[in-house]
Amino acid sequence: MAAAGVSSLAGVTGSMATAGPGGSVSPGAAVTPAAGRSSTGKQPFTRYAVVSTWDFGAAANAAAFARLTSGGSLLDAVEAGARVPEADPQNHSVGLGGYPDRDGHVTLDAIIMDDRGNLGAVAALEDVVHAVSVARKVMEKTPHTLLVGAGATQFALEQGFTREKLLTPQSEAAWKEWLKQSRYQPQANIENRNQYLQPGSAGNHDTIGILACDTAGRLAGACTTSGMAFKLRGRVGDSPQCGAGLFVEAGVGAATSTGVGEEVTRICGTARVVASMRAGMSPTEACREALQHLIRLRGDALRGEQVGFLALSPAGEVGALALLPGFTYAVTDGSGKTSVLPADHLQT
Ligand code: SD4
C-alpha cells in the first residue's frame, strides 16, 4: 500500500506537464500565496488556482485560467475548462466522441456549482455537445437543479443549443467491438488510456471535474462526463449529482470525483469530503477519510475499481487521492503554471 497523503512527482515524467511562467506547485500545499487570508485564518489566499482531474486537465485548466485572468467569473472559468474535453472527439469519456451506452446512445451528465448554493445539472442528455453549458442554463434560467433525458435535450434546444451527433466512427467501432462479448465491467483508469494513446502520453484525455478559487477565496466547480462506457441505458453516475460528483461550500472547500460513480454516489462522496474540510481536515485528509470509509463499507466489492477525489480549499490548498494507482490531476497556480501530478492511492 502506498503512503496516503502528499503525492510524489517521482516516476511520472510521462504524465508531467508544465506550462507558463512562475514557481512549481506542490500537491497538498497552497499555491502562489498572495494577499488576504482564508476564513479559518490558517492559509493565505492564492491569486487563483484551478485544478482538474486526469492528464488532459492541463488543457482545461489553461482555458479556465484564461477566462479568470481576462475578467471572467469563477463559473465562467470552470465552464470554459469543462468545454475543452467536451469538444474533443478523441476523448471517449466526455462529450463528443464519448463511448455510448450498450444500446449505442451517447448520453452526457454534467453539473456546475458556485459556493453560494447555486447549481444546475443535466443527466442522460443526448445530442448536445456542451452538457456543462446546458447545466449552467438550468442554473440560470430555471427554478430547478437537474433536468434529465429527453426533457434536458428539449430544454437545451429551446435555449439555442444545436443538435449534433455525438457518436463518432471511432466510438461506434469501439461499441461494436464491445458488443461481441457485451461484458459490462468498469475499467480502472480508462480515462487515461484508449486504444490509440498510452497512459501518460501528452494526448491523453478523460472525464473532467474542475475546481477553481479566486483571490477572495471564492470557489466554483464543474463536472462533465459521458459516464461509464457501455452502461445500461438510463444509467446516471455520480457526476451530475450534487454532493456526489461535485460539491462546493463557501469558506470551506470544493471537491469533485472520478471513477466508478456508483461507489461515489453511495457515500455522497464530495459532500463527505467537504464536510470533513468543514470539520478542519486538509483537502488531502478529507479525501482519505472518504475513501477509507468506502473501503470499510465495501471491502472486496471494490476490487479493481477506481475512485478518485480532488479537493480545493479557499486558500488554494489542493488534495487528491485515489483507491488505485493511475489517477492524475492537473494543478494551475496563480502564475498560470500547470503541473500534471499523480495522486497517491490507498490500494493496489
Ligand atoms: C461515472 N464517475 O459516470 C463517472 C465516470 C468518471 O472518469 O468519472 N470517469 O461514473
- In this predicted structure, what is the pLDDT of residue 47? 67
Convert 56-78 to b/e letters by CB count within 10 Å (16 or more is b): bbbbbbbbbbebbeeebebbbbb
Backbone angles phi, psi at 65, to 5 degrees: -65, -40
334 CB less than 6 Å from ligand 1?
Answer: no
**For the chain, how far is it from start to end, CA to CA, in angstroms?**
6
- In this predicted structure, what is the pLDDT of residue 30? 45
**Which is nearest to 217 in space by CA: 313, 81, 109, 128?**
313
Measure 179 CA to ligand 1 centroid, in angstroms.
21
d(CA 158, CA 130): 14
β-bridge mates for residue 155, sequence order: none
227 CB less than 6 Å from ligand 1?
Answer: yes
Task: Map out the domains of the chain with their CATH numbers.
Answer: 42-345 (3.60.20.30)
How would you write the pLDDT of the chain (348 residues) with one tens digit per residue?
Answer: 333 322 322 222 223 333 333 333 344 444 433 334 444 455 556 667 999 999 888 999 999 999 999 999 999 999 999 999 888 877 777 777 788 999 999 999 999 999 999 999 999 999 999 999 999 999 999 999 999 999 999 999 999 999 998 888 888 888 888 888 877 665 555 555 443 333 333 333 357 999 999 989 999 999 999 998 889 999 999 999 999 999 999 999 999 999 999 999 999 999 999 999 999 999 999 999 999 999 999 999 999 899 999 999 999 999 999 999 999 999 999 989 999 999 999 998
Spatial neighbors of 248 by CB under 8 A, at least 6 apart, are 113, 114, 115, 211, 219, 220, 221, 254, 274
Check if the beta carbon of residue 321 is closer than 8 Å to that of residue 329: no
338 CB less than 6 Å from ligand 1?
Answer: no
Is 46 noted as a catalytic residue in this protein? no
d(CA 311, CA 75): 17
In the set 32, 53, 153, 207, the catalytic residue is 207
Q: Ligand 1 atom closest to Cα of 235? A: 3
- In this predicted structure, what is the pLDDT of residue 169? 85
Backbone angles phi, psi at 203, to 5 degrees: -90, 10
261 CB less than 6 Å from ligand 1?
Answer: yes
Beta strands in 99-232 (DSSP E): 108-114, 119-125, 146-148, 208-213, 219-225
Check if the beta carbon of residue 221 is closer than 8 Å to that of residue 73: no
d(CA 139, CA 155): 12
**Which is nearest to 177 in space by CA: 229, 226, 129?**
229
d(CA 25, CA 6): 12
Measure 223 CA to ligand 1 centroid, in angstroms.
10
Q: Which of 52, 224, 258, 268 to mutate to test the pocket of ligand 1 (most atoms within 8 A of CB)?
A: 258
Complete DSSP assignment for 239-279: TTSBTTTEEEETTTEEEEEEE-HHHHHHTTHHHHHHHHHHT
